[in-house]
């Protein structure tokens, strides 16, 4: 009975020792792996993250700079950007951009629709904009249909404080040799823009 009891006790102690050893080994491996991973991630993430984020930030800061042809600031905290000026095959020049209302009140674009009676039907719009070819000494007005509606953006409901809105305007295309014009609207300063050929 003593021998059997001793054998059972040894087996039980051996099993406990093996189990404890395995548990400690697994815990040690698991803990070490977890510790290593965050260290690796921490060491690689900041440098990689900074590079990626820096790359994305650089890309973001480059892209708008490359796509913005001109930016002017003026009346009532407004900021106007011109992002594209493309000559179309049909003899048109399409100018596009954004306007941001940096003022404290909604802006209705009344002064941008122009002074002509014909343009009053356009409401708050960019209908009063023009292009000036200083070298060719010509001024180009926004194209209109037979009822006086401009081929341009209407700011229906106005532009709220802090809001940025896209706009477009179509003009007769200047001659092919004209590559630069000044975009003018309302009391905003003229924005010098380069014309590109449409695809």
pLDDT digits over 27-67, tens only? 454 444 444 444 444 444 444 444 444 444 443 433 444 58
What's the CA gap between 76 and 102, in Å, rounded? Answer: 7
> With contact defined as beta carbons under 8 Å apart, do 168 and 152 qualify?
yes
Residue ranges per structural domain of the chain:
1-67, 70-197
Average pLDDT, the chain: 76
What pLDDT, on the 0 to 100 scale, is given for residue 143? 93
Please, which pLDDT band fits residue 14 given cuts at 50, 70 and 90? low
In the chain, the N- to C-terminal Cα span, in Å, equals 99
Tell whether the model's pLDDT for residue 13 goes beyond 90.
no
Angstrom CA distances, 13 to 19, 24, 25, 162, stand at: 10, 16, 18, 75
pLDDT at 57: 40
pLDDT for 113 equals: 84
* pLDDT value for 8: 53
Question: What average pLDDT score do residues 163-188 get?
Answer: 94
Worst-scoring range by mean pLDDT, 38-42, 93-97, 178-182?
A: 38-42
Is the distance from CB of 132 to CB of 85 less than 8 angstroms? no
Distance CA 146, CA 142 (A): 13
Task: Write out pLDDT tens, residues 106-124.
Answer: 988 888 887 777 777 788 8
pLDDT of 159 > 80? The answer is: yes
Contact 174, 85 (CB under 8 A): no
Which sign does the torsion angle of CA 164, 189, 136, 125 carry? positive
| C-alpha distance from residue 127 to each of 113, 140, 145, 153 (Å) | 5, 12, 12, 8
Mean pLDDT of the 151-160 span: 91
Report percent pLDDT > 70 for the chain.
66
Contact in structure between 113 and 125 (CB atoms under 8 Å): yes
Higher-pLDDT residue of 196 and 26 is 196
Q: Which pLDDT does position 86 carry in this prediction?
A: 95
Position 76 scores a pLDDT of 80
As a CATH number, domain 70-197 is 2.60.40
Least confident of 2-6, 70-74, 157-161: 2-6
């Amino acid at each position: 009975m003593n021998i059997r009891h001793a054998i059972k006790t040894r087996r039980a102690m051996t099993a406990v020792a093996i189990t404890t050893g395995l548990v400690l080994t697994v815990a040690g491996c698991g803990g070490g792996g977890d510790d290593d991973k965050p260290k690796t991630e921490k060491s690689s993430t900041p440098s990689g993250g900074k590079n990626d984020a820096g790359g994305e930030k650089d890309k973001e800061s480059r892209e708008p700079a490359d796509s913005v042809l001109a930016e002017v600031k003026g009346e009532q905290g407004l900021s106007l950007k011109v992002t594209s000026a493309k000559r179309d095959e049909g003899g048109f020049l399409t100018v596009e951009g954004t306007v941001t209302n940096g003022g404290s009140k909604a802006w209705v674009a009344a002064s941008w629709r122009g002074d002509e009676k014909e343009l009053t039907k356009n409401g708050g719009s960019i209908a009063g904009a023009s292009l000036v070819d200083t070298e060719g000494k010509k001024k180009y007005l926004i194209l209109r249909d037979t009822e006086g509606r401009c081929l341009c953006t209407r700011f229906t409901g106005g532009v709220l404080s802090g809001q940025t809105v896209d706009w477009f305007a179509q003009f007769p295309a200047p001659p092919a040799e004209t590559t630069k014009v000044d975009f003018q609207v309302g009391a905003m300063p003229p924005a010098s823009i380069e014309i590109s050929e449409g695809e």
